[in-house]
Amino acid sequence: MSIRTENIEVNFDLTLKKDLEENEEICPKCGGAGLQVSDNPFGLASDKDKYSEMFPHKKQTIAGCSHCYNGVQRKCAHCNELLGRKGWCDCTGYKNKQTEKQYLKDLEKWNKALKTSVEEHLKEDYTYMLYLDNYGQFFENIGDVIEFLQDQIEQGDIEISNITNMRLFKTNQTSLSFDVQSIIESATEELHDNAYENTMEHQEELQEFLNTFAEKMKKSTLTYFPNWEESIVISPNDLK
Ligand SMILES: [Zn+2]
Ligand SMILES: [Zn+2]
């Protein structure tokens, strides 16, 4: 098979209107058209010995510019660099701003939570784990948290004055469970019209059976989630 090449002239004679926000600029890659030439390269089996490239031919067409959206790029508010299609920047100013935003978000979550002192917490009878938000770590009990923080101070990673910034949350736990109705529903989907009702008459029997099984799996499926509503306040005195 042989290839023939045709050249197509494309002329757009039109004017595009762009209403730009302050941090937006016309994309320098496409000049604001929002378009670029896409090669769509291809090769033929018979090309193998004739060309060094795998795809020596092209079916060029016009596609959306891969450096912008609608011919417009946003500028980073911190270093003024054009961001292409990215929603973020690598510069220090941008990173600092993100860190600050995250800090404020964490702080807001912490401020909203109900607070218990370590002393009060020690009087509680609890089986849940604790979540130290600053480190993204779960702990068995408050003793382990304090030991961990003492280690951090000893290693010089934090100072005793940082202790008041620790955001320790209680957790909720959940483990394997089954919803009999939805199990029967999906199991009888393809069966005759009364299969669902007939089976639902015995749902209690199945629920009991599944509960026993879930209980057996409880320990190995137990999962903890931070309870953002309840927290424990650690003071420097708790570490002494
Ligand atoms: Zn562009
Ligand atoms: Zn930047």
Residue 125 lies in a domain: yes
For residue 66, the ligand closest to its alpha carbon is: 1
Residue 212 lies in a domain: yes
Residue 158 lies in a domain: yes
> Could you read off the pLDDT of 59-99 as tens digits, one per residue?
999 999 999 999 999 999 999 999 999 999 999 999 999 99
Residue 1 above 70 pLDDT?
A: no
Residue 211 Cα to ligand 1 midpoint, Å, equals 59
* 208 and 227 co-located in one domain: no
What pLDDT does residue 127 have?
Answer: 79
* 162 and 215 co-located in one domain: no
> Could you read off the pLDDT of 168-215 as tens digits, one per residue?
999 999 999 999 999 999 999 999 999 999 999 999 999 999 999 999
* 162 and 199 co-located in one domain: no
* 232 and 211 co-located in one domain: no
Three state DSSP letters for the chain? CCCCCCCCCCCCCCCCCCCCCCCEEECCCCCCCCEEEECCEECCHHHCCCCCCCCCEECCEEEECCCCECCEEEECCCCCCECCCCCCCCCHHHHHHHHHHHHHHHHHHHHHCEEEEHHHHHHCCCCCCEEECCCCEEECCHHHHHHHHHHHHHCCCCCHHHHHHCCEEEEEEECCCCCHHHHHHHHHCCCCCCHHHHHHCCHHHHHHHHHHHHHHHHHHHCEEEEEEEEEEECCHHHHC
* 159 and 211 co-located in one domain: no
* 216 and 228 co-located in one domain: no
Residue 192 lies in a domain: yes
Residue 47 above 80 pLDDT?
A: no
* 233 and 146 co-located in one domain: yes
**Please, what is the average pLDDT of the chain?**
94
* 203 and 135 co-located in one domain: no
Residue 108 above 90 pLDDT?
A: yes
Q: What is the span of the domain harbouring residue 184?
A: 180-221
Residue 234 lies in a domain: yes
Q: Which of 23-37, 50-64, 136-150 shows the lowest mean pLDDT across its residues?
A: 50-64
Residue 13 lies in a domain: no
Residue 197 lies in a domain: yes
Residue 56 Cα to ligand 1 midpoint, Å, equals 26
* 117 and 158 co-located in one domain: yes
For residue 31, the ligand closest to its alpha carbon is: 1
What pLDDT does residue 51 have?
Answer: 79
For residue 88, the ligand closest to its alpha carbon is: 2
User: How many domains, the chain?
Assistant: 2
Average pLDDT of the segment spanning 101-105: 95
* 205 and 126 co-located in one domain: no
Residues, Cβ < 5 Å to ion ligand 1: 27, 29-30, 65, 67-68
* 228 and 169 co-located in one domain: yes
Q: Taking the model in full, what pTM does it have?
A: 0.64
* 157 and 198 co-located in one domain: no
